[in-house]
Amino acid sequence: MARETEDKELSQYRNLMQPPKEFAHGFNWKTVVGAIFLGIVMMPASMYLGLFAGSGGAINSASQWVTIIIFAEIARRSLKDLRMQEVYILYYMAGLAIASPFSGLLWNQYFVQSDFVKAMGIAQDIPSWWAPSEELIREGGRTFFTKAWIAPIAMTATGLIIGTLDGYGLGYVLYRITNDVENLPFPMAPVGASGIVALTESKGSKERWRWRCFSIGGMLGMIFGAIYIGVPVITGAILAKPLQLIPIPWIDFTQQVGTFLPAVPFNITLDLGAFIAGTVIPFWAVIGGTMGVVMAMVLNPMLYRHGVLANWNPQMGFVDTQFSNNVDFYLSFGVGLTIAITLVSLWKVASPLMGAFRRKPHDGAAKGSGSLSPSVWKRLVTNNIQRGDFSIFIALGIYIFSSTFWISLASWLVPGFPWKFFVFYAAVYTPVISYATAKMEGLCGQAISIPLIREATYILSGYRGIQIWFAPAPIPNYGVATVGFRVMELTGTKIMSQVKTKLVTVPIIIISSLVFSSILWQMSPVPSDAYPFAQKMWELNARNFCLTLSSTTEGGSLFMEAWKWNFFGWGLGVGVSMYALLSTFGFPTMLFFGLVRGMGEAFSGVLIAQLCGALVGRYYLRRKFGDMWLKYAPVILAGFSCGMGLVAMLSVAFTILTKMISPLIF
């Protein structure tokens, strides 16, 4: 059957790891020390890297592996070993520190003061509980410790606390359904768990290849990190402008390519981490993404010549071309493509469910079929005591409480908005889309998201104003959380260990994130030459956000002018047609997802690096090492993140110390 053929590649990922026979706690005094270490050392470095080089790729998880390596080495020198559960808790705790909550305030202050925002005439309407006005920001200087920032800080801290509780709500229920009842494989969960296992192998382990792979990746990461991050960060602390041996975040060739391929945004990212990631990502997803970019490169000049991409001119760089094309065509066309992905994904989820309901009762139900038999219900409500499960009814209560809280808060902050829309999402939309996402994550490691659902809600509500866009709207997707619970299971860690870790870590994150966000702002304006990634990307992000905000403003709307139903129909038709064509000829499903992602104007530079990695991995490394390469690659990628992070953290520490003591010297 075609469906069996298209999932052949993904089936190889499903049995890479199995949960251990015994579960244990990972929370202890080492976790407390780790939380303090993260708050003082790792969080500011991670925040700096996010502004300097972006948080994507290997850098995003660098602090997680650096934390584990440091504590593992300290334990070895104390003649002790870290248990796998302890390593997981450190890894998880470092992941919390990556998503620094108050670093978002740096974006808020930039957005309020952005020239584009002021030109759009909406800066004065931004609510004070999201960010103070430009005048108040300038009066207080580059610091968050002023009266004007009390409300935004309170909003951020409240969101973090409630979000921490909400992490054990509907997402946990869906994990119990997809993992325990439906027995889905979660093929991408071993990617996160394999590096943790590698660092807990003893000298007598039969699988010492994990540590060797991790070491190889670590050395590659240290060498590349010294060039990519170390040199510009250190020179930026000494010189007026940092020296970049490798341009960050990309090399822009849009103007050069535009002479023969007009309206094509083209860049190249020289990131070894993206290359290694290409060996881990399913091959056909990378091939599909590359094909999509090539198709967009062919389509854009045709659209330009026919007057569709009318706002482009040859002097535009990558950022300006992206925004111009988005307004002229890709906003509508891209949404159509994404809707096509959503329809295909929902069909893949609904088909087996409908088959289960049509099955006769006496036929029984195989494990994972989704049948609502008494045995299925028993598996759902029966807690695995060894794993540390808690009742799904408690989780449902958490979801009801958090949804009620967010609806009440949003209604209080924006009294003119019809709150019944939020109730519909909490009661209907969120559970449905979250389950569909959990199902897809469990089957093939893909998430589902319906684009512009919030935008459509606000437009159809008839609301006029921009305040609602800054309110904490309760439209989350809890399905993605199921992968994290599966990783925790693969490492044999009890759930209560994670709960205790959050109770200790969240207060430290709140204090540390606020303090170091203010320090980074005082070091240099954000964005500026000192933060090259933010300087290039934040302008594009601000323009796209303003485009969205204009949909509910009074008078003329740039969003409404950019939205064209015929282009949306083209995107939807092209997406569905491509899936039907690929399915007819038995091509892998991942090729379709990648193809649509590439056509949706994804960054070509990253896809080029991933393509090189995918080709080398499939046609050289897999032939050399066989199917074991599927196990080697995730561990090498984890080691690369660690090695790159070690260099990056040392460089950032040098920069912060230099900036802080320079006023004392001079």
258-317 pLDDT, tens digit each? 899 999 988 888 888 889 888 887 888 888 888 888 888 899 999 999 999 988 999 998
The distance of Cα 535 from the centroid of its chain, to the nearest Å, equals 20
Instruction: Catalogue the long-range contacts made by 126-130 (C-beta closer than 8 Å, 24 or more residues apart).
Output: 126/466, 126/470, 127/413, 127/467, 127/470, 129/154, 129/155, 129/413, 129/470, 130/155, 130/470
Asked if residue 53 lies in contact with residue 248, where contact means CB atoms within 8 angstroms, the answer is yes
366 pLDDT band, cuts 50/70/90, is very low
Q: Is 184 left (phi over 0), alpha (psi -120 to 50) or beta?
A: beta
Token pair of 63 as six digits: 């602090």
Closest CA to 99 of 46, 56, 150, 54: 46
Least confident of 214-228, 295-309, 561-575, 650-664: 650-664
Query: Bigger pLDDT: 389 or 603?
Result: 389
Q: What is the mean pLDDT of the chain?
A: 80
Q: Which three-class secondary structure state does DSSP give residue 285?
A: helix
What pLDDT, on a 0 to 100 scale, did the predictor assign at position 441? 80
Q: Where are the domains of the chain?
A: 2-359+388-665
User: Torsion angle of alpha carbons 275, 280, 285, 287, nearest 10°?
Assistant: 40
Query: Bigger pLDDT: 186 or 379?
Result: 186
Asked if residue 151 lies in contact with residue 128, where contact means CB atoms within 8 angstroms, the answer is yes
pLDDT at 5 over 70: no
d(CA 67, CA 35): 10
Crossing angle of helices 481-490/495-523, nearest 10°?
Answer: 120
Q: How buried is residue 455: exposed, middle or buried, by Cβ count under 10 Å (0-12/13-18/19+)?
A: middle
d(CA 12, CA 630): 8
Percentage of the chain surpassing pLDDT 70?
A: 84
81-130 pLDDT, tens digit each? 778 888 888 888 877 877 778 888 999 999 999 988 988 888 888 999 99
Provide φ and ψ at 553, rounded to 5°.
-85, 160
Percentage of the chain surpassing pLDDT 90?
A: 15
- Angle 85-86-92 from CA coordinates, rounded to 5°: 90
d(CA 80, CA 73): 9
pLDDT at 487 over 90: no
Highest mean pLDDT among 130-144, 190-204, 276-290, 594-608: 130-144
- Listing DSSP states for 205-260 in one string gives -TTTHHHHHHHHHHHHHHHHHIIIIIHHHHHHHHSSS---SS-SS-EE-HHHHTTT
Highest mean pLDDT among 142-151, 365-374, 472-481, 632-641: 142-151
d(CA 601, CA 488): 35
d(CA 400, CA 162): 12
42-78 pLDDT, tens digit each? 777 778 777 877 754 445 555 676 677 777 777 777 7
Highest mean pLDDT among 150-164, 195-209, 579-593: 150-164
What pLDDT, on a 0 to 100 scale, did the predictor assign at position 107? 92
d(CA 366, CA 533): 50
Q: Is 392 left (phi over 0), alpha (psi -120 to 50) or beta?
A: alpha
d(CA 639, CA 66): 9
